[in-house]
Amino acid sequence: MSNLEQTLSIIKPDAVERNLINEIKKIFTSNKLAIKETKKIHITKDEAAEFYKVHQSKPFYNDLCGYLSSGPIVVMILEGEDAVIKNRKIMGSTDPKDAEENTIRKLYGISIDKNSVHGSDSVENAKKEINFFFKNGQ
């Protein structure tokens, strides 16, 4: 049975700054995740706070929101078979130190905060996150 899904991916400021956009996009497409939408944006700290609201009680919340709004990011809708879990596998563990070989975070992540990419963690959150950035299909 096929299970076509969409998920939200973000290339975070540390990776945009190091010109890794094309390398990271190539990893998705070569793993059969099609990039249906992509845009480069620079969000405000308030927008980052809204996006990461689920983490509002965490000690790292303020720094995380400051970081995501510190420079341009690339937000993408990825589509493919089991896209949510597949993207999480391609990304690797949150802390690049623990990430598996050949994952994006192992290849490019600098630290637990500057870990190069975000990916939705469930189908439900993917829908919310896609809607957050691509409300009018933009």
118 is a catalytic site residue: yes
For ligand UDP, give the closer residue by CB, 6 or 115.
115
Distance CA 9, CA 118 (A): 6
**Residue linked to tokens 């990776």:** 15
Q: From the list 115, 116, 126, 130, which residue makes contact with ligand UDP (rule: CB under 6 A)?
A: 115
For ligand UDP, give the closer residue by CB, 70 or 138.
70
Q: Least distance (Å) from ligand UDP to the CB of residue 1? A: 27
- Return the residues of window 109-128 that contact Mg ion according to CB under 5 A: 121
Residue 115 interface partner, choices Mg ion, ligand UDP, none, CB cut-off 5-8 Å depending on type? ligand UDP
Q: Which residues lie below 8 Å from residue 5, measured CB to CB, with a gap of 6+?
A: 79, 80, 81, 82, 83, 84, 123, 126
Catalytic, out of 16, 74, 118, 119 = 118
Q: E strand or H helix at 66, and its extent? A: helix 61-68
| Residue 23 binds ligand UDP, judged by CB under 6 A | no
Separation of CA 102 from chain center: 17
Distance CA 26, CA 53 (A): 30
Q: From the list 70, 112, 123, 134, which residue makes contact with ligand UDP (rule: CB under 6 A)?
A: 112
Catalytic center residues: 118
